[in-house]
Chain A
Amino acid sequence: MAKQSELEELEALFHCHKDMVFKTAYLILGDTQEAENVLQEVFIKVYRAGDTFRPEKGGFNTWLHRITVNQCISKCRKKHLPFFSLDERLEEGDFDPPGAPSQLPEELLIKQEESERIQRAMKSLDRKHRAVLTLRYFDDLSYDEIAQVLKIPLGTVKSRLNTAIKALRKELTP
């Protein structure tokens, strides 16, 4: 049986990083259920395969991002998921987290419209471009960190980001 204290250590890690893992996976996969599956797989992997973590090759954050992105990509491969299968449930309406102040309807509508436009544009990109944009503009990783997460040369990070953002802009242009 696993020791309670070890699971508590993992639980502390989970609570600290669950949002990052879940939201990164959601932006790459576009589906909350798939993101939830990735979240579970990632932390089970952290527990079982933590010995593959090499601090000299980058921090824990980079390592966790790498597992997250790898899980997302392998999910796409296994299930042939459409890259961005927009989550229908979200479009039906949001609910505020408990206690959170609700926004003005107009404000919500404008934000919703803008973000849906971007979501549609993201849908047209392939997964490696979605991943690189998510890591840079959601997770705020540096180019060097992205290179470590995706295990690609720095030059490839630059060119991939360039291609991704230009493709996105093309989609956003009316």
Chain B
Amino acid sequence: MNCKEINQLLLSYLDNEVSTEERDAIVAHLSACPSCREELEALASTQRELRHAFKVITARVSPSSYAWATIKQPLEREEHRRIPILIMVKSKVKRGIDRLRQQPVWQKALACALSVALIVGLCLTIPSLLGQSPEAMAENIALEDPGVQLLLAEKGFSVSSKVYVVAFKSDKRNIYYVHLMRPEDKTLIGIATVDVEEGKRRVIRIELTEASKSYTLRPSGLPEGVSVDAVINVARGNPEVRGFLDAGAEVSRTAYLSSPEKEFVGLALRQDDKELCLVKIDWGKREVVKVYMLDKSHESQTTAIRTDVVPGMMDGKLTVSSTFERIEI
């Protein structure tokens, strides 16, 4: 191949989109041709610049917070319909199962393996269909965290209180900021930083808006080197908590929150599959400072309710998005 022909292939070569024969010819030519090597380097540099610029340009823009509401509105008035993509996923799996019933054993085994491959393939192709959005996941992780619940209780939220939450993606992969807001006036109570990466799903940090208080959470939910039993022993110092424990209540979840001034341990006590209370322990003083009772009539700790969008500005910079949740603590 001459320089002109090689030149036409250099971009594909950089993008790894050439055949083995073409690659061999290009490599052989480049080793003997300084001007084509120079051209290759120039192309590679433009590619790098372009990738980088696209990242910078797109980092500055994002869809508006009311985009989903605008899409949803006209569709709500339309007739029932399944999203065909989802039907296709389900029908493929169903057809596979139907066929499986009519086949001999050896074919069943093979078809079974293929079905698994198909399902895995579909899972990889359309992951979003098989789980919640990362924002919704971050919101749920935040709301179900005993540390977050403890701070909400601290802020005067009772069992029937509502808290509005909305997650914002950070500039770090898998890290979301969940804004916790008062429902009446949408003022910001605090921000929970949540890692949604599989295996790490947890609240990393809670910041309260008042007095710029910031709490760090430990993944173990306990102070360093302290066992659950040690915490339970401290909790037993409170007669009410002791009563629950003696009646067979168990610790269902723990949280450890620390700020430069304070250290708290939160314990959730459960009996007969229902959570009874949240216990707040001042770990510096090793004493129970408050017991927040949970309403036994509530089956689950958290109830998610989607309400209408409230677009608007908060504190001059926050825009509220379409997903609101209610938490009952």
Contact = CB atoms under 8 A, between A and B. Distances in A.
Interface stretch (B69-77, B209-217, B253-261): B69-77
A81 interface: no
B50 A133 contact: yes
Contacts of B81: 2, 6, 47
A174 interface: no
B17 A142 contact: yes
A11 interface: yes
A9 interface: yes
B11 A165 contact: yes
Contacts of A10: 71, 75, 83
B60 A169 contact: no
Contacts of A72: none
B171 A97 contact: yes
A46 to B, nearest CB: 7
A77 interface: no
Nearest to B193: A99
Interface residues of B, number: 65
A87 B60 CA distance: 11
A106 interface: no
A44 interface: yes
Given A1-B76, A2-B75, A136-B15, A168 B83 contact: no
Interface string A92-106: 001101111100000
B293 interface: no
Contacts of B125: 55, 59-61
Contact of B76 (A2, A118, A136): A2
Given A165-B47, A168-B50, A169-B42, A15 B135 contact: yes
B168 A2 contact: no
B324 interface: no
Interface in A10-60: 10-19, 22-23, 26-27, 32, 35-36, 39-40, 43-44, 46-48, 50-51, 53, 55, 59-60
User: Could you tell me the dominant secondary structure of chain A's interface residues?
Assistant: helix
A119 interface: yes
Interface in B1-55: 8, 11-12, 15, 17, 42-43, 46-47, 49-54
B54 A50 contact: no
Contacts of B168: 97-99
B173 interface: no
A115 B52 CA distance: 8
A152 B21 CA distance: 24
A47 B83 contact: yes
B297 interface: no
B80 interface: yes
A161 B67 contact: no
A134 B17 contact: no
Contacts of A100: 170-171
Interface stretch (B126-134, B218-226, B233-241, B266-274): B126-134
Contacts of A88: none
B105 interface: no
Contact of A44 (B43, B75, B127): B75
Given A2-B76, A51-B84, A101 B171 contact: yes
A36 B63 contact: yes
A43 B51 CA distance: 26
Given A17-B128, A158-B12, A168-B50, A40 B71 contact: yes
Interface of A: 1-3, 6-19, 22-23, 26-27, 32, 35-36, 39-40, 43-44, 46-48, 50-51, 53, 55, 59-61, 87, 90, 94-95, 97-101, 111-112, 114-115, 117-119, 133-134, 136-138, 142-143, 158-159, 161-162, 165, 168-169, 172
27 contacts: A1-B80, A2-B78, A6-B83, A14-B68, A15-B128, A16-B133, A22-B62, A22-B63, A22-B67, A23-B61, A46-B83, A47-B75, A47-B81, A53-B88, A55-B92, A59-B125, A97-B171, A99-B191, A100-B170, A111-B56, A115-B52, A115-B57, A118-B49, A137-B54, A158-B17, A161-B15, A162-B8
Interface of B: 8, 11-12, 15, 17, 42-43, 46-47, 49-54, 56-58, 60-64, 67-68, 70-72, 74-86, 88, 92, 125-129, 131-136, 168-171, 177, 179, 191, 193, 306, 317-318
